[in-house]
Structure 1
């Protein structure tokens, strides 16, 4: 039946995207048959096995975020999906998702393209941190090169509210320049990467990160290793105890570390906000885990792929 549907798509010369779900399902069915045959099963047993497996689609989730873990948890509990989560390996003790996990880089676009082919991946979900621009660009290019559907999951950015004193800048260099005249004591909460951009500044920095920063550090600083979520009262107490004059943060979005912004609002502290890098041109984006799961569900069910890209 799947072969007939593939043939019908070709005969009608419909756009290839409209047949992609069928083609993915067929490819997964063939792979499933190979696995069963390798076990020496009869044709009837192979058919039954693949029917139970529903020719599972293999999905690569580029993760390291709460959204990636939640999506892996949902999809792994549904028949018809094989999930492989990939972590960059930059956090020493990451919170691991459910299911298969790989850790480390791919070796650029070429390495990722080869890995996708070697591992029979049917679709890619980029649920990395909003500032992980390198892997996001590589995923988009590798998926385009291999003809695989790709979805980018990006939580909404933070919204400025009445009483906020935000200074938006495009990058780390802009943040280092902006914070120069905002006081002597700075709360630097940008993660461990990028701290070197502030190394030559004369101010005192309270640097908060999950793991120790990479590269050069400001001459005057205190390092605070901590993982969110953080409560509003605790954030206010932290800013007061260290007599913070200004804050620097990335527009990561989400509730995990949002309390620091509310604390700065309460204390009328200016906040330098580094804007997110743009997604690749034409990227398909959703903001929630529910929307990402709906995309995977439609991909797996064989519905029209017109809205999947």
Structure 2
């Protein structure tokens, strides 16, 4: 059986690895190591980076990888670009697996923005803002000393962080009831989030709609041109099985 590399870290990556391993496919899942205690998939797991496109290309050749599925977070643009370049150099087939983004519905007060920097610039002075953009994004909001932040992340953030911030350490999935209580308890009026998609963290959007919060939604980067994509684990599974 040929060897498949999954660039992981998402629920979709774990589900794909689990299904492929159950079917007898040799799966190696690569995790970037940014979360202290990640949920591990079935099969072989590799921790840490590859050293950019050059390192990844050399690793693909050395490990005789038959195909790569990039199932990283929708905002892991650097890893996706490196995978596309390495795949092009080596001729190894690459698929980008991305769950669909969220869609605005009736009653939502969304403003789509192209970047975290634009989200920070649009915050109203004196607002009480719920940040769910990840611990590595906090330095972007440091200049906004006129805003109070509640920042949620899986692991503790490292400096610099905004001066007026309270950090909540938690991992999804979250419920609408819990998100609603959190918003009310901290008197939040604004939510800043990335368009990650998926059900694990969507409850905050429902709670924000019910409580009338303004939402600054950061658009996800586009996938590399010319690389095939799938938006479900089932579609990715069919693609892999056609190459193994």
**TM-score bracket for this pair, using the shorter chain length:** over 0.9
Quick one: which of 59, 84, 92 aligns to 2:4?
59
Describe how 1:143-182 pairs up with structure 2 within 5 A: 143-181=87-125
Relative CO higher for 1 or 2, CA cutoff 8 Å, sep ≥ 6? 2
Distance 1:186 1:287 in 2: 31
Q: Which residue of 1 aligns with 2:138?
A: 195
Deviation at 1:291, TM superposition (A): 0.4
How many Å separate the matches in 1 of 2:143 and 2:182?
25
Distance 1:246 1:283 in 2: 36
- Looking at structure 1, the residues matched to 113 and 68 of structure 2 have their Cα atoms a distance apart, in angstroms, of 31
1:223 aligns with 2:167: yes
Counterparts of 1:11-90 in structure 2 under 5 Å?
56-79=1-24, 81-90=25-34
More strand by share: 2
What does the per-residue CA deviation read over 1:230-285, in whole Å, with 9 as the maximum and x for residues that have no partner? 11011111000000010100000000000000000000100000000111111200
2:198 pairs with 1:245: no
Distance apart, 1:215 and its partner CA: 3.5
Number of the residue aligned with 1:109: 53
The separation in 2 between residues aligned to 1:239 and 1:274, in whole angstroms, is: 20
- Matched residue of 2:56: which SS? helix
- 1:276 aligns with 220
Q: Counterpart of 2:242 in 1: which secondary structure?
A: helix
CA-based RMSD: 0.9
Residues paired across the two proteins, number? 243
Could you tell me which runs of 5 or more consecutive residues in structure 1 were left unpaired when the two chains were aligned: 1-55, 301-309
Normalized per residue, which structure has more helix? 1
Distance 2:158 2:44 in 1: 28
Task: Check the 8 A contact 2:66/2:243 in 1, yes or no.
Answer: no
For residue 185 of structure 1, what is the aligned residue in structure 2? 128
1:60-95 Cα offsets, whole Å, 9 max, x none, are 00000000000000111113x210000000000100
TM-score by length of 1: 0.77
- Quick check: 1:196–1:214 contact (8 Å CA) kept in 2? no
Residue aligned with 1:249, SS: strand
SS of aligned partner of 2:129: strand
User: Aligned partners of 1:215, 1:285: CA distance in 2, in Å?
Assistant: 36
Superposed CA offset, 1:167-205 (max 9, x none): 110011101011135x42110111111110001102110
Unpaired segments of 5 or more residues in structure 2?
Answer: none
